[in-house]
Amino acid sequence: MQTVIFDLDGTLADTSGDLIAAANACFRAMGRGDVLDPLVDASTAFMGGRAMLTLGLERIAHGDVAGQVDQWYPHLLSAYEADIDRYTTIYPGAMEAVGVLSATGYKVGICTNKPEKLAETLLSRLGIRKAFASLIGADTLPTRKPDPAPLREAALRAGGDPAQSLIVGDTITDRQTARALGVPCILVTFGPDGRAVADLDPEGMIDHYDALPGEVRRLIGVPALTD
């Protein structure tokens, strides 16, 4: 069965505002104020908590960046979980496209490098968890993207065939994950990197979710009625 697996941050939802806010909570606790900017540093937010802490610590020229990242990362996760959906928004047309795919017979799931518990919490708060048959987070398996195992497992748990799957994402991590599994990748152009994702040579790109069902059909075909 053909399967469409979605990345979460920067693909289904713009989570950068809440991620930056959680990192800034750490910097305020250090007595440094809000070090990161929600707009300027949005792309770093999608690289994860450690990347945000590293950027901020380097920006304030801290003498022990690695040690402080380890020390403050649990604090960042706690701050994020406590206020996970204040600024987060689902990208226009995303859930409508998911609905079209499901109604057509595709299996749909999520493979994210966000910790599984946080992903479950966010999707539930946004009211969209039940739309996805599977959810694989950064800590669900021993490995995370760009290792292909999480993508493969997301397809299997969704009830699909990994060999007939594709991933919809927004970064080089998603591109590398698809390549590692030997399946197509569709990258969105409305994330922080914009149309620069074309440099990653994905099999498909979309400027709006209205175009997703057509790209999916082009790349992996349409599920047979007998599946």
Residues annotated as part of the active site: 7
Given the structure tokens 């999707």, which residue do they identify? Answer: 123
Q: Which helix (H) or strand (E) holds 13?
A: strand 13-14
Burial group, residue 63, by CB count within 10 angstroms (0-12, 13-18, 19+): exposed
Instruction: Report d(CA 46, CA 24) in Å as an integer.
Output: 15
Asked if residue 78 lies in contact with residue 121, where contact means CB atoms within 8 angstroms, the answer is: no
Q: Which helix (H) or strand (E) holds 121?
A: helix 116-126
Neighbours of 67 (CB within 10 A): 11
3-state secondary structure (DSSP) of residue 107: strand
Instruction: Report d(CA 134, CA 67) in Å as an integer.
Output: 35
How many residues are recorded in the chain?
Answer: 227
Instruction: Report d(CA 143, CA 22) in Å as an integer.
Output: 25
